[in-house]
Each structure stands twice: as structure tokens, then as C-alpha cells.
Copies of this chain bind each other. A is one copy, B any other.
């Protein structure tokens, strides 16, 4: 039974690293002593692991980073809980395939091991990374991802700005283009929002809510509460 906490962004304006989801992290990681951190969305994995380690120690958890393990796959197989941080989604997915970690992480999460993702770490829980906002700075062997939930996620979701004079595509336009070529629903998760998944139940958390895009239907607003329909 999967237990996931999929957070849009690790920071919201005016608060510190993981502050806005601290209570939900404690709830997800009840009974966990050490968390295995996946730092590959960022180039400087040492610095990133230190940041995560300090923050998790302040919450009372030990944290090891998978990049420091002699055998990353063995470490990922035996970990009590996983936290995958944000950065660049293309880089993250490429490194996960290079280290043979995609299947190990997916199987662990499907087996009930608690998984926390923020931003890129959240995107990879969908069927593909095709709804990332990131620049494609590195070419991954595929866009297929962990497929822990049947919908795609667009983190840092931004509503169109009616005062903007910029002619680049809005986020909504980009997601509509995604649906010209792909079927999964897309959850546009605003900063400050997150989804908690327990087996076949899903709950949207956070005041900013989310915007749900389904192929061939008008977008709809989702507010905090049950969103288990997204899992079927």
C-alpha cells in the first residue's frame, strides 16, 4: 500500500526549507528513524545532502544520502523511507536511470515504504516527466518515470497573469498542449499545496489548492480534501 507525500515546492515565500509541510512530513514518517535522501536533481549533491540532513535532524530523523552509499541500489532497497528533493527533473531522472534506481524506488513505494517528494521529486511520481517546468539541460534515456500515481503533476503551478504583456505560453496553454499528445490527467499543484496518498485514498492539502486538467474537459479547481478520484 503506497504512502506518498507529493509536495509542490520545498519552500513557500517567507518561510524556511520544508516549513510549510513539516507537520505532514512528521505524519508520513511516523515510526521512521532514518530517511534515505535522493539528491540527484541538483549538481552539488554534497551540499544538497547537508541541507537535507540538517533539516531532517531538526525534525528528529537521521538522514543518509544515496550518493554516499557504496552500493546505491542496495541502500535504496533497504531504506526505511525515501525523500527525493527538487532541482532539475531531467537531471534527476537521468541520474536515477544511470544508477539503476527507478525500479527500486518504484517497487519500494508500491510495497508501502513512505516516499516524500518535493518539486522534481514529486514530478517523477507520475507516469512521465512530461509536465515538468524545467529546462531540458540533459537528455534522459526516456521520459518515463516512477508511475506511482496515474496522473501527471505540474508543480509550482501558476495561474495565468491577466496583466502580463509576455507572449510566451501560459502554464495552462502548455498543459493543453500536453493533452494534444498525452492522456493522463494533470494536477497543477500550486506552491503551498501537496497530495497525500495512502493506498487508494488521496487527499489534497494546503490552502492554495490545485487546478485539475483532463483531456477534452474544461479545467477544474480542486480545494483541500479528498481527491481519491484521481487514483482511479
Contacts and interface: CB of A to CB of B under 8 A. Distances in A.
Contact of A134 (B43, B88, B174): B174
A133 to B, nearest CB: 6
A135 B43 contact: no
- Interface bracket on A: 35 or more
Stoichiometry (number of copies): 2
Nearest to A174: B135
Interface of A: 9, 11-14, 43, 87-88, 90-91, 129-139, 142-143, 156, 158, 165-169, 174-175, 177-178, 180-182, 191
Contact of A135 (B91, B131, B137): B131
Contacts of A139: 130, 142-143
Given A43-B181, A132-B136, A139-B143, 10 more contacts: A12-B167, A13-B167, A87-B177, A88-B177, A91-B181, A129-B136, A130-B137, A130-B138, A135-B175, A136-B143
Given A43-B181, A180-B43, A181-B43, A9 B135 contact: no
